[in-house]
Amino acid sequence: MNIKILSRNSSLYSTQRLVEAAKKRHHDVEIIDPLKCDLIIEKKHPSIYYKGRHIEDADAVIPRIGASVTFYGTAVVRQFEMMGVFSTTESQSLVRSRDKLRSLQVLSRARLGLPKTVFTNYSKDVGEVIDHVGGAPLIIKLLEGTQGLGVVLAETKNAAESVIEAFNGLQARVIVQEFIKEAGGADIRAFVVDGHVVGAMKRQGKEGEFRSNLHRGGTASIIQLTDDEENAAIKAAKSMGLGVAGVDMLQSSRGPLILEVNSSPGLEGIEQATGKDIAKTIIRYIERNV
């Protein structure tokens, strides 16, 4: 089988592990930079032109599309789909997952637990927005933020008002969420492949840091999910239409609360925390579908 990995950086851990896992299972594999693909759109033979040749031999594609190149990266995935190539992440699901507001609405419709969230069109009544999520402390997130960037913890009402008004003044769209104190600066990442949780880790923020992202100095350890947490992760991935997903949850007094569903979850943290070969699981997912 011929597998293409869409990645801008061939030296990334996740990209390298997927190449290694595919080769171990005797597949041909190639890393393709999605931004260097030309898309030829026509009635009968849609195609992709890459580095002086037409790509005609692909059986499956694994999108590793960064948030900053979502628009063009998704167009490339869609073109592969038009060519009849199986994708581990469908283009429509990729677009849906990158829109934080839309994602929360989809998860809410699926009746999944969420931190109470407010989104407004630059409302002047900032105090009312704060009251809607139960007051301070609260979390303010830029809609376009990734890996913990653009996320602010406002510990007092005055601080919250100042931050929200500042973002409004910059015409930067934000969501305001309740702060889940009992989570203790930790969250859970459940890795879902083909409707099954294949690994889970607990990420703990460093001392004095409410964000648990590993990129920001957080630590990861293996965790055994409860039935409620496992079911929530599977349902979240399914509601977003994702065959491969990293589902981030908070442990709260009212059960698991979904923070985000990531369509290009990194493999390094989860593989090192769990000792599991997640890359192999993704390759086997392709084998079952192609």
Please give the structure tokens belonging to residue 247.
């589902």
Same domain (yes/no): 191, 156: no
Is the distance from CB of 106 to CB of 113 less than 8 angstroms?
A: no
Same domain (yes/no): 86, 148: no
Query: What does the alpha-carbon distance between residue 222 and residue 190 come to, in Å, rounded to a whole number?
Result: 10
Which stretches of the chain are DSSP H helices?
13-24, 70-82, 91-98, 100-109, 126-132, 157-169, 227-240, 268-274, 278-289
Same domain (yes/no): 56, 121: no
Of 132, 148, 179, at which residue does a domain stop? 179
Length of the chain: 290
The enclosing domain of 230 has a CATH number of 3.30.470.20
Tell me whether residue 112 is in a domain: no
The enclosing domain of 121 has a CATH number of 3.30.1490.20
Same domain (yes/no): 210, 274: yes
Each of the 290 residues of the chain gets a pLDDT tens digit; together they read: 999 999 999 999 999 999 999 999 999 999 999 999 999 999 889 999 999 999 989 999 999 999 889 999 999 999 999 999 999 999 999 999 999 899 999 999 999 999 999 998 888 889 999 999 999 999 998 887 565 578 899 999 999 999 999 998 988 889 999 999 988 889 999 999 999 999 999 998 776 556 656 655 678 899 999 999 999 999 999 999 999 999 999 999 999 999 999 999 999 999 999 999 999 999 999 999 99
The enclosing domain of 40 has a CATH number of 3.40.50.20
Query: What does the alpha-carbon distance between residue 111 and residue 45 come to, in Å, rounded to a whole number?
Result: 42
pTM of the predicted model, to two decimals? 0.90
In total, how many domains does the chain have?
3
Query: What is the domain extent for residue 78?
Result: 2-96
Query: What does the alpha-carbon distance between residue 120 and residue 132 come to, in Å, rounded to a whole number?
Result: 11
Which residue has 């290694």 as its token pair?
A: 20
What SS3 state is found at 62?
A: strand
